[in-house]
Copies of this chain bind each other. A is one copy, B any other.
């Protein structure tokens, strides 16, 4: 009897699974993106890398892999690219080092993992996953997180691995600006730009499970061990199969106060708001407090949203219904 049921299941499952929507959305940060400084060649580089990450994640989903694996596959590529403020190419702290944060959440189980302030892990998103799967904790910070990484057999890279000349110049510029300001005057767009740039991915797999992940180098000229929204479950990252998967990018302090990722999911959970409206309402809360940024989201039905209230947001998406693209400016 059991065997017959298993055989029936084996025949039926792939058919019903074939009808299920799947896909992913990813971002490479929202913020001030200077159209004039973005040469066609540079823009092509961004588009190529976003496409590469998108296709890597999509390939995982297409062959029946999990949303979690797809999120990791996409984010690792963005972390490895010097174009984005995560992993290699992360911004510098005031001390001239790179400190990385990442988090991940499994919509199937609401398991979550996060690391804050790690300095020698090539792909922080993989360490966040390890915290989720191999420790009894959700969040590990600083040297403690690296001790855990060591115990888990992670390879370490010197902090210099993350350094890029571009980010070094950003730090110098930020320091000059900070020194020139006698008071905490209104900040310029360049200051604000220093705050953004994070990568993230949300995915829905063929089994109907959602996952979300976010990884960042934080903000240029960061001091005092500042922790932004990226490693905070409920702020930068959230996933629940019953509602949606969200990854955020923006002015972290406001995203924490609003609890952006969880707030979007809560609207779906408690009043049935469609994903797109929920995300817009939450971003409006951020704006009302004085912050800005963007989010990417995907719900269980395969609806996606990618709103931002900044000049641009690097993003890519591909769904099993054929919808796909990469974009930098103009909210779709």
Interface residues, chain A, CB within 8 Å of chain B? Answer: 105, 110-112, 116-117, 135-145, 147-148, 184, 223-228, 232-235, 238, 252-253, 256-259, 262-263, 266-267, 269-271, 273, 289
Contacts and interface: CB of A to CB of B under 8 A. Distances in A.
Contact of A271 (B138, B227, B257, B271): B271
A267 B144 CA distance: 36
Contacts of A232: 139, 232-234
Nearest to A258: B110
B262 A233 contact: no
13 contacts: A110-B289, A136-B184, A139-B227, A140-B227, A141-B142, A144-B223, A145-B224, A145-B225, A147-B223, A147-B224, A232-B232, A232-B234, A270-B273
Contacts of A256: 112, 138-139, 233-234
B226 A137 contact: yes
Contacts of A233: 232, 235, 256-257, 259
A116 B138 contact: no
Contacts of A258: 110
Nearest to A225: B144
A41 to B, nearest CB: 35
Contacts of A136: 184, 253
Contact of A262 (B223, B225, B263): B263
Contacts of A142: 117, 141-142, 225
Contacts of A234: 232, 234-235, 256, 259, 262
